Chains A and B, each alone.
Chain A
Amino acid sequence: VEKIDQMCVQFGTAELETFHAVKRVFDSRGLLNPGKAVPLLARCAEFGRRHVKAGVPSHPGLPRF
């Protein structure tokens, strides 16, 4: 569970989509621990967010991966 944020980086969209597809096979309504083993795409988006103030991202000089 603590690695869940890294999964957005470790896996590409196609792999994540496959995980979701596998989950849908066993849990078509998404009732069982949603977003626990496989991150929801919203979580990936949140994890990748940057602090932006007055239109300028913080520390624009630092390299980002």
Chain B
Amino acid sequence: LTSQEFQERIREAASRGAALRFRGGGTKDFYGNALRGEVLETRGHAGVVAYEPTELVITARCGTLLSEMNEVLAGHGQFLPFEPPGFGPGATLGGCIAAGLSGPRRASAGAARDFVLGAKILDGRGQLLAFGGQVMKNVAGYDVSRLLAGTLGTLGLILEVSLKVLPRPPAERTLRFDLPQQKALENLNRWAGRPLPVSASAWRDGELRLRLSGAASAIRAAMEKLGGEALPPADAAQYWSGIREHADPFFAGEAPLWRLSVPSQAGPIDLPGGQLLEWGGALRWLRAGALAADAAAIRAAAARAGGHATLFRAPDKASGAFTPLPPALARLHRDLKRAFDPAGILNPGRLYAEF
């Protein structure tokens, strides 16, 4: 589909007040609340529009496969520094930005949103809008292109995105430590305050793994300071890909998966169910048992720790995927939604039931 055809579909749906939902590879259909509306496939609108390795920027259409993006970038020794999860081979760039999810490197490199330089979108009226550009210092106006990251298609259809990319680190090693959770968190927070090339961390079942990325000499020096046991590179690569793509055994099975976003300094959060910690302690995955009764307790525990909890994957999301917003924030969200999509037809209810 061309942008004109998308435009006609959105205008036509807006005139009927009929809900639309955008779908690329469908790999993140599980994320957010229940899906509503006629499907508008974005995969046909694909391809890298521009890639300037020396300028560290790539522009591609929404339907471009994430795997293709990674391949094109790898051809020039570069990558998407936020290590977005695909959750399946069909994952597209549009879905990646709309979901706004980042992988293991997020704590050191930044989130999906931080790498968005510009975007072309169709809003809920079918208006073609272009925001931002292809350089970091494009400061005129509000950063609407970054606002889009994580909005799950509720503000507009992302047609094209420009992303900042970086060179792949020349060397990477992963260390393993046997540590209980409390001790692992203490170490992660202490290491975070020192000039160590830590690019990822994950703790589960009494075992902490730490990835170092950078110049070979810097990694050697850090390994001497940190100790631990170095993993064979192939095992390490498989491990981090398992964490990123949720292929790790921790994520297997049917138990509801919660995602707790808290300050990394927060101590262990005592909740029933297994936990996997990432991002130096700022991200805590929880496999909870029975659902409805637990939702309030899990959200309360996350709030006490200074964060919030998202019901990430679950057969039943009656309690809402995202933590309910306080009234003042809810009003801002609702009014922003209305500004972009006055008819309320774009992925309604996917983020919050109210819009």
> A and B from one assembly?
yes
A26 and B339 CA atoms in complex are apart in Å by 11
Q: Report if B139 contacts A (CB, 8 A).
A: yes
User: 1/0 contact trace for A3-44 toward B, CB 8 Å?
Assistant: 110110011101100110111111000000000011000000
Quote the shortest CB–CB distance from B244 to chain A (angstroms): 33
Q: Report if B312 contacts A (CB, 8 A).
A: no
B residues in contact with A24, CB < 8 Å: 335, 339
Which A residues form the contact surface with B (CB < 8 A)?
3-4, 6-7, 10-12, 14-15, 18-19, 21-26, 37-38
Contact indicator A18/B332 (Cβ below 8 Å): no
Contact indicator A15/B339 (Cβ below 8 Å): no
Contact indicator B339/A25 (Cβ below 8 Å): yes
A15 and B147 CA atoms in complex are apart in Å by 14
Q: Report if B195 contacts A (CB, 8 A).
A: no
User: 1/0 contact trace for B126-146 toward A, CB 8 Å?
Assistant: 011111000000011110100
Q: Which of B139, B140, B335, B339 contacts A18 (CB 8 A)?
A: B339
Report 7 cross-chain contacts, Cβ distance below 8 Å, ordered by A residue.
Answer: A12-B130, A18-B339, A24-B339, A25-B336, A26-B332, A37-B142, A38-B142
Q: Which of B128, B140, B335, B340 contacts A7 (CB 8 A)?
A: B140
A24 and B340 CA atoms in complex are apart in Å by 12
B residues in contact with A22, CB < 8 Å: 142, 144, 147, 336, 339
Beyond A7-B140, A22-B142, A22-B144, 6 additional pairs, beta carbon < 8 A: A3-B139, A6-B140, A11-B141, A14-B129, A19-B142, A22-B336
Which B residues form the contact surface with A (CB < 8 A)?
123, 127-131, 139-142, 144, 147, 332, 335-336, 339-340
B residues in contact with A11, CB < 8 Å: 130, 140-141
Contact indicator B142/A14 (Cβ below 8 Å): no
Q: Which of B130, B332, B340 contacts A15 (CB 8 A)?
A: B130
Contact indicator B141/A19 (Cβ below 8 Å): yes
Q: How would you classify the secondary structure of chain B's contact residues: helix, strand, loop or mixed?
A: mixed
Contact indicator B141/A15 (Cβ below 8 Å): yes
Which residue of B142, B335, B336 has the most chain A CB atoms within 10 A of its CB atom?
Answer: B142
Quote the shortest CB–CB distance from A37 to chain B (angstroms): 7
Also in contact, A18 and B128, with CB within 8 A (given A25-B332, A26-B332, A38-B141): no
Contact indicator B336/A15 (Cβ below 8 Å): no
Quote the shortest CB–CB distance from A56 to chain B (angstroms): 34
A3 and B131 CA atoms in complex are apart in Å by 15
Closest partner residue, chain A, to B336 (CB atom): A25
Q: Which of A4, A12, A18 contacts B123 (CB 8 A)?
A: A18
Contact indicator B128/A14 (Cβ below 8 Å): yes
A35 and B130 CA atoms in complex are apart in Å by 21
Closest partner residue, chain A, to B156 (CB atom): A18
Quote the shortest CB–CB distance from B131 to chain A (angstroms): 7
A21 and B16 CA atoms in complex are apart in Å by 23
Contact indicator B140/A3 (Cβ below 8 Å): yes
A64 and B336 CA atoms in complex are apart in Å by 37
Closest partner residue, chain B, to A26 (CB atom): B332
Closest partner residue, chain B, to A22 (CB atom): B142
A residues in contact with B139, CB < 8 Å: 3
Closest partner residue, chain B, to A20 (CB atom): B339
B residues in contact with A12, CB < 8 Å: 129-130
Also in contact, A15 and B131, with CB within 8 A (given A22-B336, A24-B339, A26-B332): yes
Contact indicator A18/B336 (Cβ below 8 Å): no
Closest partner residue, chain A, to B121 (CB atom): A18
